[in-house]
Amino acid sequence: MSEHNANGRQPGPLNPQALRLQDAARVLSASGPSPVTVEMLQADVASGAPTNADGTLNLVHFAAWLVKEMSRAD
């Protein structure tokens, strides 16, 4: 049985190469000017943002995908 802390996160350090969407939303919200929600990340994944086989998010791959999407908007 896995243990979780009060935030629902497994104990131990976060792995930026394999973040659950909840953890990615928390990290991105804490490091940027605007809040990021799980729903926002789910919409990105539905639009083609890359995920690992287990559904977790690699922040480097996600950032590269965001840059590519931003360049398409121009």
Crossing angle of helices 38-46/59-73, nearest 10°? 70
The answer to whether residue 64 sits within a structural domain is: yes
Residue 41 lies in a domain: yes
**Cα torsion angle, 37, 2, 49, 31, sign:** positive
Instruction: Tell me whether residue 13 is in a domain.
Output: no
- Note whether residue 43 is domain-resident: yes
1: confidence class by pLDDT, cuts 50, 70, 90: very low
Residue type, 71: S
Is residue 49, in this structure, part of any structural domain at all? Answer: yes
Q: Does 32 reside within a domain? A: yes
Q: Is residue 9 part of a domain?
A: no
Whole-prediction pTM:
0.81
37 DSSP 8-state letter: -
Residue 9 predicted with pLDDT over 80:
no
> 42 is in which domain, residue-wise?
21-73
Q: Please give the average per-residue pLDDT across 17-45, as a whole number.
A: 97
**Residue 6 — pLDDT band, cuts 50, 70, 90?**
low
Number of domains forming the structure of the chain? 1
As a whole number, mean pLDDT of residues 5-14 equals 71
